[in-house]
Amino acid sequence: MSDEVKKLTREDIVRAAKNFHKFRSAKWTVIVDNVEYPARPLVLEAAGVSPIDRNNSHQAVRKLQDLNFEVRYEGKAV
């Protein structure tokens, strides 16, 4: 997990979600303020890193779970 992602706070994720634009469907998603977002792209956006960053979906999901967000896989809570 990159240093930028490790430093993320819950507030960083919520702020990024408010400015997050359209996305294609994703297997891993996160619920922020009752809206479903793709987990990895939202984490990368919040961290301010490139979409081709080395962090994978599992690392993004782990960070979101650490921050007490509801994470889903193919629409089902995990």
Place of tokens 């987990």: 39
> What CA–CA distances, in Å, run from 44 to 19, 58, 64?
13, 13, 12
Q: pLDDT, tens digit, for every residue of 27-56?
A: 999 999 999 999 999 999 999 988 787 778
The pLDDT of residue 25: 78
Is the Cβ–Cβ distance between 32 and 14 less than 8 Å?
yes
> What CA–CA distances, in Å, run from 8 to 15, 21, 49, 68, 73?
11, 20, 12, 12, 21
Confidence tier at 13 by pLDDT (50, 70, 90) = very high
Average pLDDT, the chain: 90
pTM: 0.81
